[in-house]
A and B are shown apart, each in its own frame.
Chain A
Amino acid sequence: MTLLTTVFAAIVCTIVWYKNMPDDKMKVGILCFMYWGASLMWLIDAIAEYLEVQAEYFNPDPLSMLNDLYLGLSVVALGLIIWLAILLVKDPKGALRAALFKGK
């Protein structure tokens, strides 16, 4: 479920990134890399678990599925927080700088 949540986040971010190309002033590319990187790494985890438990991998109990979804959503939120921090620090549009030093 965590893998699925992250993959969906990566797909949505990639669509948004592509829609805004060639301009990436909002630095959505960072989010894409972050979510795709995590998705690829969790894919390895998923393969390892599948090799261990075989078909049972696709029948998780509801409680662990809910916990995994909760983790997945938390991961997406953390990714967004990291992206937001980078965006505000780099301030590619210069909007923050303009607002801070307005009238000075």
Chain B
Amino acid sequence: MACFLVPAAEAIVLTIARKVMLKEKDSDASKPVSAESVKIPFSRKLKWLTNLLWGGSALLAFEHVWHGEVTPWFPFLTAAADPGDAAEMLHEMATSGVAMAILVTIVWLAMLAVTGAAEKKEIEARLAAR
């Protein structure tokens, strides 16, 4: 009904957080490059998650338009017009929507674990090469 709104909300929050992070990083640009420059910046890793969330939400929003659950006119969500349907919609958002956001975040965390291990290997290899 409107489950895609939960991952979309997460995407909005994380995109803003990333923008703030990048702004702060820009002000630190004068700092010397550390030995850990091999590591992928967290802002870039966060972009993977926002890309997953934005992309998934956009395609799911299209599916909802397809099924007539989202309309281009007020109240935009057909379920919002009826209190009974609205309650069902909120229940779906709380169950499926939250589960979607959690699953995508778990997959992203797994990606972080894999890239973290790869970074560690790369640092060790560079240190051994010295």
Contact = CB atoms under 8 A, between A and B. Distances in A.
Given A45-B3, A48-B95, A48-B96, A37 B54 contact: yes
Q: Chain A contact residues: over half helix, strand or loop, or mixed?
A: helix
B59 A40 contact: no
A33 B52 contact: yes
B103 A75 contact: no
A45 B54 CA distance: 17
A2 B103 CA distance: 18
Nearest to B99: A44
Interface residues of A, number: 24
B73 interface: no
A35 B104 CA distance: 12
Contacts of B56: 34, 36-41
11 contacts: A6-B59, A33-B52, A34-B59, A35-B55, A38-B55, A40-B100, A48-B95, A71-B66, A74-B66, A75-B63, A78-B59
Interface of B: 3-4, 7, 48, 51-60, 62-63, 66, 95-96, 99-100, 103-104, 107
